[in-house]
A and B are shown apart, each in its own frame.
Chain A
């Protein structure tokens, strides 16, 4: 399986770059994934607002939140989510938040 390196530790990712073991995630992992997968050199406060909410929702419910919930909680308009994460909420933001690949046609 492919992996990313964090502090000399190898974190397994699937063939699409999603973490294989979501429990291994921390904020440093988010920075690494954001850079590698979304080309983000730095994570802004808006990025963190989105990522923290998605992460919290996943830890509680075991799945990705609706984009409606992301916008409602962070106060960001839908358009802004796509500006922040070029690959969109599923393949961009959820990946950076350390979620496994969402199921279905995505």
Chain B
């Protein structure tokens, strides 16, 4: 590792207090009043509360990552922040994790209590120190867990980062964007505050568009239909800003002859509890989805293309909600692969003639273990597929992960750290980069725009829908 003390730290100095929190307190929104959503109180003993929570929430998994680091520096070479800012030691995962680790050592590890100077143990002195920790764990890490995968000691820096985020969220020291989304999830049940009427109206609109496009009144987007094989859940940005992906899914379900439905409530599979470290929020949002499936007696939960939504709904949500997983819970890409392999849909790959590369989302590949399924789908629906290097579990983050897309204050650092991603994308020479995550779409679009790459971002469903051979009903009837 090269070190130059003259290089200023890239850590952003975002302020402690935000306008959104003040407004939420002033208008007395229910989730603030009943304590589900925490706001910052300058007069409170925040350091005391932070240290108390640190002790209360400590687990064996966390303690292993707090004590296991031998400072070998291998994590540095895994981190896109450090690779793009190689002269700045504050960009290494070990530095970021040490800011949490030193507090653990000072208060919970006997060596640090007896000899704090030896293990660099220390304590946050005031709220400004906690704010600096916020700017590190939220602002200088996309929680992509690439360093975790490459740590020879098994230190899970991603786990430490989420843990520290959770402690800070509990005392209201949290970036404005994360606060706003948490507020909307608590208050409306979805991250973009989409009202039920708007949701239903948009689905009706997409149904009409599809009927015109496909020339049949049979295609539909059912809501709250009981006893279906598939309960489909989506990302609110699909319904709010770009419902074409819902229409694409409906088209494929129709051709595959699937019995499916969206729920009227519990349709948001995204979950900012993963990003804020708030397990209660995580449990609430995930439980809405699981309860919808139970209420409608669905046989399977299918998650639209979303990285953190997949990890939250497929894996973490059951733990947060304290529920056993009774139903298969899968990504729509797995569903698409099943249709292709069972011959329920037919595709013409020549319709996707441009070279396509695939970007593995951190929460789907590294933290979700879904690696070959998207490739098998792309292999069938594209004429030319090119691997990115590195790929699968070793792929680099789109740089907008961990909720960073919603935190504009950290954007300049994020785009600087995206240099390694831009180089990786450019080297493929592909015109299309496919990803199965809505967050990655915007993250990659930002990188493409900033580094002036000649590429376009698409999703798996876009390509499948484009290649889909819609059977001619009249021709079939003639046989």
Contact = CB atoms under 8 A, between A and B. Distances in A.
Interface string A50-79: 000000000000011011110110000010
A67 B209 CA distance: 14
B39 interface: no
A105 B408 contact: no
A42 interface: no
Interface in B158-213: 177, 180-181, 184, 191-194, 198, 201-202, 205, 209
A64 B192 CA distance: 10
B411 A105 contact: no
Contacts of B411: 15-16
Given A66-B198, A68-B198, A104 B236 contact: yes
Given A14-B408, A68-B205, A104 B244 contact: no
List the 6 closest pairs (A to B, CB-CB), nearest first: A15-B411, A103-B180, A68-B202, A16-B408, A90-B241, A104-B191
A64 B239 CA distance: 13
B462 interface: no
B405 A66 contact: no
Interface of A: 14-16, 18, 63-64, 66-69, 71-72, 78, 87-91, 101-106
Interface string B217-259: 0000000000000000001110111111000000000000000
A105 B406 contact: yes
Contact of B192 (A16, A71, A91, A104): A104
A35 B409 CA distance: 23
B408 A18 contact: yes
Given A16-B411, A104-B192, A78 B438 contact: no
B361 interface: no
Nearest to B204: A68
B239 A66 contact: yes
A38 to B, nearest CB: 11
Given A105-B237, A105-B438, 15 more contacts: A16-B411, A66-B194, A66-B241, A68-B198, A72-B205, A78-B243, A78-B244, A88-B242, A90-B237, A101-B408, A103-B181, A103-B184, A104-B181, A104-B406, A105-B439
Interface in B251-301: 270
A18 B181 CA distance: 18
A48 B475 CA distance: 46
A90 to B, nearest CB: 5
B127 interface: no
Contact of B270 (A63, A102, A105): A105
A78 B191 CA distance: 22
Contacts, number: 81
B157 to A, nearest CB: 23
A66 B240 contact: yes
A104 B442 contact: no
Contacts of A88: 241-242
B437 to A, nearest CB: 9
Interface SS majority for chain A: loop
A21 B276 CA distance: 27
B313 to A, nearest CB: 14
A18 to B, nearest CB: 7
B251 to A, nearest CB: 15
13 contacts: A15-B412, A63-B193, A64-B240, A66-B202, A67-B202, A72-B205, A88-B241, A101-B177, A103-B177, A104-B180, A104-B406, A105-B191, A105-B236
Q: Which of A66, A78, A104 has most chain B Cβ within 10 Å?
A: A104
A69 B243 CA distance: 12
Nearest to B201: A68
B403 to A, nearest CB: 8
A20 B147 CA distance: 35
Nearest to A101: B408
A52 B68 CA distance: 57
Nearest to A1: B409
A14 B198 CA distance: 29
B148 to A, nearest CB: 23
Max chain B CB contacts within 10 Å: which of A63, A67, A71, A105?
A105
Contacts of B445: 87
Contacts of A66: 194, 198, 201-202, 239-241
A63 B198 CA distance: 14
Contacts of A68: 198, 201-202, 205, 243
Contacts of A63: 193
